[in-house]
Structures are given as structure tokens and as C-alpha cells.
Structure 1
Amino acid sequence: MLDAADFVLHGLTLRQLATGEQLADIIDEDAETITTHLDAATADGKAIAARGAYMITPAGRTHLDGLYPEAFAAQRGDPALVDTLADFEQGINKQILAVMTSWQTVTVDGAEQPNDHSDADHDAKVIDKLARLHDRATVQLAPFADADPLTKRFLARLEIAQQRVDQGDNDYVSNVRIDSYHTVWYQMHEHLLRVMGEERDE
């Protein structure tokens, strides 16, 4: 496991640029404590700060890369988790990405164009498929949720985003300015890859 300071730094890799409050939503820690750790990381050259937000530096990433093998040795040595991630990568993850593409673009006369969301039937089909994939992802990633509290938190955040979509707030499909389904999925995927020592392939 990572210690508290390095866990905060790890959280910063999942959002790229974040305030203490924003990281608190991701890793479920006190925002004031997070900011204290981020200030210390900035002083050590592992992060940089600007206008109240923080970004990890190459030195910070190198630091974490050196810690991950030992910190996540149990997860990386678990055949069930290795197989789960492989299935996830080749199946539901690719399907979720395809759903997001379908939400953001439409094909008109053979050419892809930004989706202006004027076709309610198209959008309804995408939302229905997202809901079905969400249910499958929750089941498939249960082994990770059991082994890793942060994955469990990501699944809970995805459930919140899905509920917002179900209630008609379509911004929660993929809006990058909020904790939309796509935003949280990206963060969770990055976390899983770092835990298991894999590289993003898309």
C-alpha cells in the first residue's frame, strides 16, 4: 500500500490538474490534509502549484513508478485480478469508449459530425446501452472492489453519475467539467492500470 502522502500524489495522476477539494472527491480524504500533502510534494519537486491547483511533475511520476511494484504487489500477483483486467480491457472498456463516441458524434451522409443531440431516439439508445454496460461493469469489477477501496469508491461514483443520467441530466454522460460517467471512468481506468502495472492502449 502507498502511505498517505504518496496516495495523495497517486490521486493527482488520475485527474492531472486538481485542487485539494477535487482530489478529496476522488480519494475520499480530508481536503485540508490533502492540501498539506500537496504543498509538501510541491516543496519536494514532485508537484507544481498554480492558482490553488496542483499537477504532478515528471519527478513525481518517477517517484510513484518506483513505489508501485511493492505497494501493489498483492494485486499484481493475484491471477483473478490479472484475468479480470484483461477481460475488462478487451471487453467493457472498449464498449464504453464506443458508447462515448456514439454520444459525442453522429454519422451524417457517411461522415462523422459532432452530435447536436437533436435526435432523441439516437441519444436514448446510447443511454440505454450505457446503463446495460454499467451493470455489467459493476459485476465484472467486483473482484477489484473487494481488493481495493479506491476501486470500490470509483464504482460508487459511477453509480451516482448513472443515476443522474437516468434522471434526465444528460450532462452526466460525458461532460468533462463535472464528474460525468466518462470523467469518472477515465480516472478509474487510469487507477486500475497503475495498480496492475499496465499501459493504456487507446
Structure 2
Amino acid sequence: MLDPYQLTLHTLTLRQLASAEQLAEITGQPVADVKAGLEKAVADGAVVAARGSYMIGPAGRELLDAAYPDAFAGLRATPAVAEAIEAFETGVNKRVLSLTTDWQTVEVDGARVPNDHADADYDAGILDRLGRTHEKTQKVLRPIADADPLVDRFLDRLGTALIRAEGGETDYVSGVRVDSFHTVWFQMHEHLLRVTGRERPE
């Protein structure tokens, strides 16, 4: 697995531009440890600092590309992991993308238009399907989560976003300014691709 320094750099590939606190929220690392890692990374030229936020640079990406094969060698060689990521890509990932579209838009007279969320029953139906998809995802990804605790953390964060959305905070389905279900899903997907060495599907 990745060491703490590598993990901090890796998290920046999932969040793109983030503060130490935001990175710590993703991994569960102590904020002080993340800050120390970021300071070292800036000094090493692997990360760029920008007004309290950080962005990984080319040198940081090269470091990670060299680290991933060794860090995840055992996991990548496990048949159950290969089966799990294939089931994820062909099943629940496509389902979440479709549900996100259905959440953001509705069909009116044969055309898709932005969802104004005035139809509570429509939204509730999507949230119910999203909840069932989340349950399925936990089962699909279990072989990977058993080897990589960060995947379990992503699954927990997805559950938290879902609870908030069900409680009326609709931004927690696909909003970009909060840790919405869609935002956390994107981060988890990127993590899974890097862990397993796969390319993001077009």
C-alpha cells in the first residue's frame, strides 16, 4: 500500500485542488500529518501551493505512477479484485451515472429539461434507487475494500451523502460544492482505477 506521503499525493489526484483539511477528510489521516506531507511535497516540487490549497504537479504524478505497481501489486494480482472492478464498471457505475442524469433532468414532451425538484415523488424514487445501488456497490466492492480500507471509507462517505439528501439537502446528490454522492463517487472511481491500474472508460 502507499506510505503516508504517497497517500497525500495520491489524494490530490482524486480531489484536484484541495486544502489539507479536505484531503484529510478523504483519507482519515490526521490534518497535521497531511500538512507536513504537503509542505514536503511543495519543497520537493511535487505539489504546487495556491492560497491555502494544493495541486499535484507533473513530478508528483510521476512519483505516483512509479509507486502504484509495487504498492498495489498484491491487490492487482488477486482474481477477486479483478472480478470486482469489472462488475463495478459494467454494473453499478453505469447505474449511478444514469441516476445522476435522471436526478438532474426530467423528460417533458419527449425532451430532457433541468429538474426543478418540484416533484417530490420523482426525486424520492431516484433516491430510493440510489440507495439500493449503494447497497449493491458495498457488496460488489467488498473484495477490494477488504484489502484497501480507504474503499470502505468512500462507501461510508457515500452513505453519509445519501442520508443528507434523503433529509432534504438535495445538493448532496450531485452538487459540486459539497461532498455529494456524485462527488464522492467520482473520487472513489478514480481511486479504484489507480489501485487496479485501469484506464477511465470513455
Q: TM-score range by the shorter chain?
A: over 0.9
The aligned residue for residue 175 of structure 1 is 175
Distance 1:135 1:2 in 2: 28
Q: Does the alignment pair 1:122 with 2:122?
A: yes
1:124 Cα deviation after fit: 1.6
Q: Which residue of structure 1 lines up, in the alignment, with residue 5 of structure 2?
A: 5
1:144-188 CA-to-partner distances (Å, cap 9, x unmatched) read 111101101111111111222232322211111111111111111
Aligned ranges for residues 46-195 of structure 1 at < 5 Å?
46-195=46-195
Q: Which digits, 9 at most, give the CA deviation of each residue in 1:9-51, with x for residues without a partner? A: 0011110011000001001111122111112111212111111
- TM-score, reference length from structure 2: 0.96
Q: Which residue is 2:29 aligned to?
A: 29
Distance 1:68 1:170 in 2: 36
Counterpart CA distance in 1 for 2:124 and 2:152 is 28
Q: Secondary structure at the match of 2:36?
A: helix
Which residue of structure 2 lines up, in the alignment, with residue 41 of structure 1? Answer: 41
Secondary structure at the counterpart of residue 54 of structure 1 = strand
Quote the Cα distance in structure 2 between the aligned partners of 1:2 and 1:125: 40
Q: Which moved more, 1:172-181 or 1:74-83?
A: 172-181
Name the amino acid aligned to 1:83. Answer: E
Structure 2: distance between partners of 1:132 and 1:33: 36
Moved more, 147-156 or 109-118: 109-118
Deviation sequence 1:75-127 (CA, Å, 0-9, x none): 10000000110011000000001000111112222222221112222212111
TM, length-normalised to structure 1: 0.96
Which consecutive residues of structure 2, in runs of 5 or more, have no partner in the other structure?
A: none
Distance 2:181 2:135 in 1: 13
Code of the aligned partner of 2:66: G
Q: How many Å separate the matches in 2 of 1:85 and 1:15?
A: 21
Does 166-175 or 190-199 show the bigger shift? 166-175
Structure 1, unaligned runs of 5 or more: none
Structure 2 letter corresponding to 1:156: D
Aligned length: 202
**Which amino acid letter does the alignment assign opposite residue 178 of structure 1?**
V
TM-superposed CA distance for 1:8, in Å, is 0.5
**Distance across 2 between alignment mates of 1:189 and 1:49:** 25
Task: Report sequence identity in percent.
Answer: 55
